[in-house]
Amino acid sequence: MNFDPNGIGQKLHRHVSALFPIFRSITGEGMRQTLAYIGESIPLQIRQVPTGTPVLDWEVPQEWTVRGATLRRLNGDVVLDIADTNLHLVHYSHPVDRVVPIEELQAHLHSLPKQPDLVPYRTAYYANSWGFCLAERQRQALTDPAYHVSIDTELAPGVLNYGEMVLPGEGPDEVLFSIHCCHPSLANDNLSSIAIAIELAQRLERRARRRFTYRFLFAPGTIGAITWLHLNREVTARIRHGLVLSCLGDGGPPTYKRSRRENADIDRYVAYQLRAGGHGDRVRPFLPYGYDERQYCSPGFDLPVGCLTRTPNGEYPEYHTSADDLELVRPEALADSLALLCRLVDMIEADYVPLGTCLHGEPQLGRRGLYQAIGGQPIGADPSSRFDQLTLLWVINQADGTHSLLDIAERSGKPFAAVAAAAEALAAAGLLNRADPSPARASDRQAGDR
C-alpha cells in the first residue's frame, strides 16, 4: 500500500474540511449528511434503528432536530448564535423561548476558565436539559439582568443511523475498524479518523487478495456501538482483530491502548509497529474509559479491540473545544496515521502459524536453492535478498505449528517482513504449510467464543 505522503495528506485534509461544517449529533440530519458524504467514496450500507428500540441495557433515544439557537440581549442584540459555531449549543437541548434571569442562565452556561478564549463541547443526551457553551471571556461580559433564550429544537420519535461497509475476504474471520462520527465541528476528534477510514477502505477494496473480511463501522459514539453489538451478536464471534480509530490528525506521536485481553494479536501487532517506528513507549494498558473500545471490550463480548490515536483523548489542550479545528489537524500527521494502518493491515494479512514439512533434522537447503553461505563464511545477509540466512533458519526451527510469524520475529529479533519473506520462500520450496487457516491462536479463539 504505497502512496505519496504529501498528496495523500492533502487529500485526507480535504475530507476533514468538507465534513467540518456539518452539525452532527448522535441522531438527526447531520449524522445522515455525514454518512451520505462517506457513501460517496465507499459502498456504505446505511442502517436505521427506530426510537425506543431496546439495545442491550439501553434504548435508542429520540431523534434531535435543530433549527437554530441564539442568546440575545433584551434589545435584540445577538450574544451567541450557533450559526457562528455549532459548539455553542449543548447537544440534545430541549426547546426554550423565554426571557431568563442572569442567575438562572448561569446554571445553563458552560465555559473554560483556564482556556478563556475557547468554546467547549458539551452534551446532555439523556437528560431533560438545555444549555449554551461559550468562551469564558464572553461569559464574563454577560452583565445584563436577563437575556432572551431562543432554542428552536425538537425531540421526537425518529431513527438512529449508522453505516457499515463489509469487504469480503477468503475466509469468514473479520477485522473491525470502528469510527464514531457524532461530534460536531471537531476536526481531530472525530473527522481525522473518518477521513483516514475512507481512504483505508478504498485501498482495501482495491487489494488483489484479502485473507480477512474487513468491516468498517461508522456510528454515533456509545449508543451506536451498543446498538450495533445488540443487532450483530453473530458477527462478533467472527471478529479476530479490531481497532477503534480516533484523534489521528494532530502532531503527537501514535498511541495505542490495548484491548481488555491485553495480549490479543491486535495488541501485539500494533505494539510491534510502534516499536519499529520508535514509539514503543506509546503502548498503554487497557482502561475502561475512552471511546467505543469499552463497549467491544465489555466482559460479555471481550472482543480483541484496541484503540489507536495520536495524542489520546483529553491529553491535548484543544480536545473537545473550538480549538480542535482545521489548523490542528496536519496533513503530514494524517498521512502518517494512514501509513501505520496500511502497514498494520499488511502484517495482519501476512501473519499465520507455519508448520514445517521436515521437522526431524534441518532440511537440506542447498538443493532447493535456499542455502547462501559458502565455505567458511558466517551466515549473513545477501544484499539482493529480502531476508538473511539466519532468518530462514529461525523460521525452520520455530515452524512447529505453535508459533506464528510474529512469534518468530519477536523471538529472533528479525524484522517481521523478513520473517514473512523467508516463510514464503520455504513454502514455495515445499518446506512449510499453514498449521491453521487463521493467525488467531487457539487461546485467542476460545476467549472470543466465550
C-alpha 108/C-alpha 99 separation (Å) is 13
Average pLDDT of the chain, as a whole number: 93
Measure CA of the first residue to CA of the last residue in the chain; give whole Å.
35
How far is residue 83 from each of residues 70, 95, 156, 283, measured CA to CA in Å? Answer: 9, 17, 23, 40
Per-residue pLDDT at 369: 83
Per-residue pLDDT at 75: 97
Per-residue pLDDT at 447: 42
**The CATH fold of domain 354-434:** Arc Repressor Mutant, subunit A (1.10.10)
Residue 190 · residue 246 · CB < 8 Å: yes
Residue 380 has pLDDT above 50, yes or no: no
Strand 54-55 and strand 432-434: the pairing is unpaired
Residue 335 has pLDDT above 90, yes or no: yes
Residue 148 · residue 321 · CB < 8 Å: no
Query: The domain at 63-156 falls in which architecture?
Result: 3-Layer(bba) Sandwich (3.50)
Torsion sign over Cα 353, 356, 361, 366: negative
**What mean pLDDT is predicted for residues 306-320?**
97
**Which spans in 280-356 are helix H?**
293-296, 331-350
Residue 89 has pLDDT above 50, yes or no: yes
Residue 445 has pLDDT above 60, yes or no: no
**What mean pLDDT is predicted for residues 119-132?**
96
Q: pLDDT tens digits for 349-362?
A: 999 999 999 999 99
Residue 2 has pLDDT above 70, yes or no: no
Residue 203 has pLDDT above 90, yes or no: yes
Residue 62 has pLDDT above 80, yes or no: yes
C-alpha 377/C-alpha 6 separation (Å) is 44
Find cell 450483530 and name the residue: 232
Three cell numbers, residue 198: 475512507
Which pTM was predicted? 0.92
Per-residue pLDDT at 210: 97
Residue 68 · residue 152 · CB < 8 Å: yes
| 138: confidence class by pLDDT, cuts 50, 70, 90 | very high
Per-residue pLDDT at 435: 82
**What mean pLDDT is predicted for residues 231-243?**
97
Query: What is the homologous superfamily of the domain 5-61+160-349 according to CATH?
Result: Zn peptidases (3.40.630.10)
C-alpha 143/C-alpha 57 separation (Å) is 45
Closest by alpha carbon to 302, among 164, 171, 443, 406?
443
Per-residue pLDDT at 372: 67
Numbered residues of the known binding site for Zn(2+): 183, 189, 320
Residue 370 has pLDDT above 90, yes or no: no
Per-residue pLDDT at 379: 47
Find cell 469480503 and name the residue: 168
Q: pLDDT tens digits for 256-274?
A: 999 999 999 999 999 999 9
Burial of 355 (0-12, 13-18, 19+ CB in 10 A): middle
| 401: confidence class by pLDDT, cuts 50, 70, 90 | very high
Where are the chain's structural domains?
A: 5-61+160-349, 63-156, 354-434
Numbered residues of the known binding site: 183, 189, 320
Residue 323 has pLDDT above 80, yes or no: yes
Per-residue pLDDT at 440: 45
Closest by alpha carbon to 187, among 36, 85, 328, 310?
328
C-alpha 94/C-alpha 192 separation (Å) is 30
| 438: confidence class by pLDDT, cuts 50, 70, 90 | very low
**What mean pLDDT is predicted for residues 294-315?**
97
Which residues, 6+ apart, have CB-to-CB distance to 267 below 8 Å?
A: 256, 258, 259, 261, 304, 306
Per-residue pLDDT at 384: 45
